[in-house]
Chain A
Amino acid sequence: MDGSSPERPQLPPPLWLLAELTYRCPLHCAFCYNPLDYTKGGAELSTAEWVRVLREGRALGAVQLGLSGGEPLVRDDLEELVVEARRLGFYSNLITSGVGLNEKRIRAFKDGGLDHIQLSFQDSTRELNDFLSSTRTFELKSRVARLIKDHGYPMVLNVVIHRLNVDHVPQILEMAEAMGAEYVELANTQYYGWAHLNRAQLLPTREQLVRAEEATNRFRDRVGSRMRIFFVVPDYFERRPKPCMNGWGSVFLTITPDGTALPCHAARMLPGLAFPNVRDESIEAIWHRSEGFNRFRGDGWMKEPCRSCPEKTRDFGGCRCQAYMLTGEAENADPVCDLSPHHHVVTEAVERAREPIVETKPIMFRDDRNSRRLAGEAPVQESV
């Protein structure tokens, strides 16, 4: 595929539309991928504006819809958006902490045609779940898990895995089995946003990961096809980068709470790139003709070692945001690749994870106060 022409007639549709309905969230997870300065965005899109986004996205061929955030249940028009999504033919996925879900709302979602609910847990223990989210939500989540099952939804449990809970993977899987989960995502932390800020506290050792994966495989052998377990590989421990977003602007379209359209949920961090807003332009114009979406399509932007690499059609040079965060330039190869001249920044971080954590820097929870400080609107004064 030649990416030199910015407007290709064969541009595939944005099959995945991720609607980040709000950045408001009752949880304060230390590994959240939301931007550090999430408090800086503009006003949230109205119901009518979201309906227009859904219609235009569907007309362009979007079919999977993620209703996410923040916590999407904070929006009291979620029921209305679910009905519209079903009417348009979306397969809709609610991605939630469970906080705010009750009998009345889940019934409305079921009647409205919501297809699936993905529920997050932070750990198999109340103590760590509540510590990591900086809330008391473990019991509530357990009740919500039962609600989801009782209403005939497939149960998809998502647990973000990191240094503090990676040794609990066997117990997490047992908890999932006891809940009757059909799918479990053990999502090893990707280091963006708040997770990147807290990387020293969250990055596990290679030995911890090997043990967790072995435990997962033993569990898979025991439960067979009854429960499907996805062990999302943490890319810091790999030698080749992930094919991030399956290629820039090829499948994913994220709309942030204030209507900014992004090729991935982290892309707003990239400097010098203007991303369009659905308040100003149609989804069709955004997907096909905006500078932000065309910037890293194809391979014309690549530098060495990616440019001449035969694997570039498979991994697309990895993740632009990671390249920027870790090397200072978005055009560089993702340094997870051992062909990158910057690969040492990743291996050094992994090496440092072997050392016992020295509390030089406290964990920073994702909340409005910390966000404003990090955005430079208030003096940074680290305290927990």
Chain B
Amino acid sequence: MTVDATVALERVPRLSARFRLQYETAQNTWVLLYPEGMVKLSPTASEILRRVDGKATIASLVESLEQAFPGVDLRADVIEFLRIAQDHGWIEP
């Protein structure tokens, strides 16, 4: 693991105030809502973003996900998704 990744694991991501995360019963899916638009989230993306509460570090997100889905090493996937989410402006570092 590189030094950068270690530092990243201690970061606390939070959802951008420009987006609202909610579950849509009619579509059976989690969505991100923003002015006049919506992103439908994949099951994986939903599991990660639901845990982004502005308090949990990335390390504790990974831990929580690995408890929910035992036997899988999720760290790289989580870090990669959070990078994409940040590029889209969904989360802030």
Residues of A at under 8 Å CB distance from B? 13, 15, 60-61, 63-64, 66, 89, 91, 93, 115-116, 118, 152, 154, 156, 182-183, 225
A225 to B25, CA, bound (A): 33
Residues of B at under 8 Å CB distance from A? 17-18, 20, 22, 24-27, 31, 33-38, 89
Residues of B within 8 A of A63 (CB): 24, 31, 33, 38
* Total A-B contacts with CB atoms under 8 angstroms apart: 39
Contact A154 B33 (CB under 8 A): no
Contact B20 A91 (CB under 8 A): yes
A33 to B34, CA, bound (A): 25
| Shortest beta-carbon distance from A230 to chain B in Å | 10
A182 to B89, CA, bound (A): 12
| Shortest beta-carbon distance from B17 to chain A in Å | 8
Residues of A within 8 A of B37 (CB): 64
Q: Within the complex, which residue of A60, A61, A93, A225 is in contact with B36, where a contact is CB–CB below 8 Å?
A: A93
Q: List 22 A-B contacts (CB under 8 A).
A: A13-B26, A13-B27, A15-B38, A60-B26, A61-B24, A61-B25, A61-B26, A63-B24, A63-B38, A64-B33, A64-B38, A66-B36, A91-B38, A93-B35, A115-B33, A116-B35, A118-B35, A152-B17, A154-B18, A156-B36, A183-B35, A225-B89
A200 to B86, CA, bound (A): 46
Contact A89 B27 (CB under 8 A): no
| Shortest beta-carbon distance from B25 to chain A in Å | 8
Residues of B within 8 A of A61 (CB): 24-27
Contact A64 B36 (CB under 8 A): yes
| Shortest beta-carbon distance from A182 to chain B in Å | 7
A61 to B29, CA, bound (A): 11
Residues of A within 8 A of B18 (CB): 154, 182
| Shortest beta-carbon distance from A18 to chain B in Å | 10
| Shortest beta-carbon distance from B41 to chain A in Å | 13
Contact B26 A115 (CB under 8 A): no
| Shortest beta-carbon distance from B27 to chain A in Å | 6
A156 to B20, CA, bound (A): 17
A154 to B16, CA, bound (A): 12
